[in-house]
Amino acid sequence: MALFLLLDRLSVLVVVIIFAILFVSPSFSSTDIRILKAERRIDLTSSIVRAFHTLQVENIGDSHASEILLAFPPDQAKHMADLQASTSQGKKKKKNYIHLDVNPIDSSQTPNGAKLFSVSLNHNPLKTGETKTLELLVILTHVLEPFPAEISQSESQLVHYRDSAILLSPYPVKEQMTYIKTPSKKVESYSMVNPTNRVGEELRYGSYADSAPYSYTPIIVHFENNHPFAVIEELVRVIEISHWGNIQVKEQYRLLHGGARHKGVFSRLDYQSRQSSSGVSSFKTLLAKLPPRVHSVYYRDDIGNISSSHLRLDSKKSELQIEPRYPLLGGWKTSFVIGYSLPLESSLFEMSDGRHCLKFNFGSPFLETVVDKLTIKVVLPEGSKEPTASVSFPVEQHHETSFSYLDIVGRPTVVLKKENVVPENNTPFQVYYSFSPFFMFVEPLMLVSVFLLFFITVIAYLHTDLSIRKAA
């Protein structure tokens, strides 16, 4: 055992040295900033990986630093759903957090294709000799890789998590520590990078001192995670506003169990009678938090109503618990539609300049699910003008026209698209538009006039006599 440890340590050392040699040369890293202390807490308890980084940064250069660079391995950058940075200000009692802007920057120069992000400190640049504490929240999806990739009904789900024991950073790090939290004590194996130890559900890597910029020490943690890996492959939310007093929401889901694929037999008998040992990684229900005051909720799919759902309404929130038609085992898919209505005044506000503002939650209402591809369509009433949308994070948007009941010119529709959406994105977004109440009456008037015309035609027809020969 000791020999193994020694070997392990030796190999890690070699890797570190190689990395250090490789990475010293590039000139990109601005060496006038260093990280005094880095602490990472990586939460692996659900299917979404959340990493909290606390970095103590010091400016040792001559000039002010207005931005701080963060580096991530390309694999993590690809699966990154959200990256939030903040810094604390003030003393302990009056501590308040300032949200900082994070933007990806061109990272073609970096070694091994590490992706760089810059945290801008525009309002409060880091002066020479100063230190500052940065707090980062990194959310990664689809990084827990099931291993084995296929399991049978009686097995529980094991996953691999890959990361580096040392924080990947363009700056030198003086001291660092990494904590990894696993959902249970069942950890099959983990890489040793001394000092490494494991206490209960927590793995500790570090502390390591004085690591060079861009140093990387790969680690693998193999552990049990039976948390439902619910992945919504595609979600289309259509929010339709009617100024007669109703907002109608229709959400179309394509749901997948993104964990280890199920193989072989599915026995209903085992699934029902031995619930603790059979299909532990599968899930039967999902919980959605809908806005308060919803009504007319429906839950169905292409072939009709799905009768297994529960709705709990109270004044602050509404909870919808749905059961797909069948329990989802690894790799199984399903699709369904949820729809509900809201009173207009709960989400629509009138601005001081007479414009209307719709305030609605981005993201899916389901807890702890990843949405791979989200499309939100806000259908404004016919006749509304100048729609603009504002979302707190970058999304792809465009406008289109949709047609519904008796429309002639069509309804302006704002389409918002985002990939890789996590519950943290579930923040409100706004759509502004101007609308004249006159347009509300266009369709009723149209119906009235059509019927009027019809009756007049009938009356006229009954009173005309076009016969050539008069009856005797």
Binding residues for other proteins (CB under 8 A): 264-269, 273, 301, 303-308, 325-326, 331-335, 403-408, 462, 466-467, 469, 471
- Please list, residue by residue across 132-163, b when 16 or more beta carbons sit within 10 angstroms of its beta carbon and e when fewer do: bebbbebbbbbbbebeeeebbbebebbbebeb
* Shortest distance, position 26 Cβ to other proteins, whole Å: 49
Dihedral sign, Cα of residue 188, residue 193, residue 197, residue 202: negative
Which two three-digit tokens encode residue 461? Answer: 């027809």
Which two three-digit tokens encode residue 360? Answer: 């609605």
Question: Which of residues 12 and 235 has its CB atom nearest to other proteins in the complex?
Answer: 235
* Shortest distance, position 265 Cβ to other proteins, whole Å: 5
Question: Which of residues 54 and 152 has its CB atom nearest to other proteins in the complex?
Answer: 152
- CB count within 10 Å of CB 381 equals 21
Q: If residue 398 lies in a helix (H) or strand (E), which one and from where to where? A: strand 396-402
Question: Which of residues 268 and 312 has its CB atom nearest to other proteins in the complex?
Answer: 268
Question: Which of residues 64 and 310 has its CB atom nearest to other proteins in the complex?
Answer: 310
**Residues in contact with 137: Cβ distance below 8 Å, sequence separation at least 6, in sequence order:** 50, 51, 52, 53, 82, 83, 84, 85, 424
* Shortest distance, position 466 Cβ to other proteins, whole Å: 6
* Shortest distance, position 106 Cβ to other proteins, whole Å: 42
Q: Helix, strand, or coil here: 173? A: strand
* Shortest distance, position 278 Cβ to other proteins, whole Å: 13
Which two three-digit tokens encode residue 62? Answer: 């001559």
Question: Which of residues 254 and 293 has its CB atom nearest to other proteins in the complex?
Answer: 254
Distance CA 219, CA 198 (A): 14
Question: Which of residues 48 and 328 has its CB atom nearest to other proteins in the complex?
Answer: 328
Distance CA 167, CA 56 (A): 13
- CB count within 10 Å of CB 346 equals 14
* Shortest distance, position 404 Cβ to other proteins, whole Å: 6
Report the chain's terminal Cα–Cα distance, integer Å. Answer: 122
Question: Which of residues 298 and 349 has its CB atom nearest to other proteins in the complex?
Answer: 298
Distance CA 317, CA 348 (A): 18
* Shortest distance, position 298 Cβ to other proteins, whole Å: 10
Question: Which of residues 127 and 325 has its CB atom nearest to other proteins in the complex?
Answer: 325
Distance CA 394, CA 421 (A): 12
* Shortest distance, position 410 Cβ to other proteins, whole Å: 9
Distance CA 344, CA 245 (A): 5
Question: Which of residues 301 and 424 has its CB atom nearest to other proteins in the complex?
Answer: 301
Question: Which of residues 211 and 413 has its CB atom nearest to other proteins in the complex?
Answer: 413
* Shortest distance, position 435 Cβ to other proteins, whole Å: 19
* Shortest distance, position 469 Cβ to other proteins, whole Å: 8
* Shortest distance, position 330 Cβ to other proteins, whole Å: 11
Strand locations in 225-347, DSSP E? Answer: 230-242, 246-257, 261-262, 286-290, 295-301, 304-305, 309-313, 318-322, 333-343
Q: Decide the pairing of beta strands 33-43 and 173-181.
A: parallel
Distance CA 145, CA 278 (A): 21
Question: Which of residues 8 and 301 has its CB atom nearest to other proteins in the complex?
Answer: 301
* Shortest distance, position 398 Cβ to other proteins, whole Å: 22
Please state the separation of Cα 30 from the chain's center in Å: 32
Question: Which of residues 175 and 372 has its CB atom nearest to other proteins in the complex?
Answer: 372
Residue 118 and residue 33 in contact, taking contact as beta carbons nearer than 8 Å = no
CA geometry: angle at 317 spanning 314 and 322, to 5°? 95
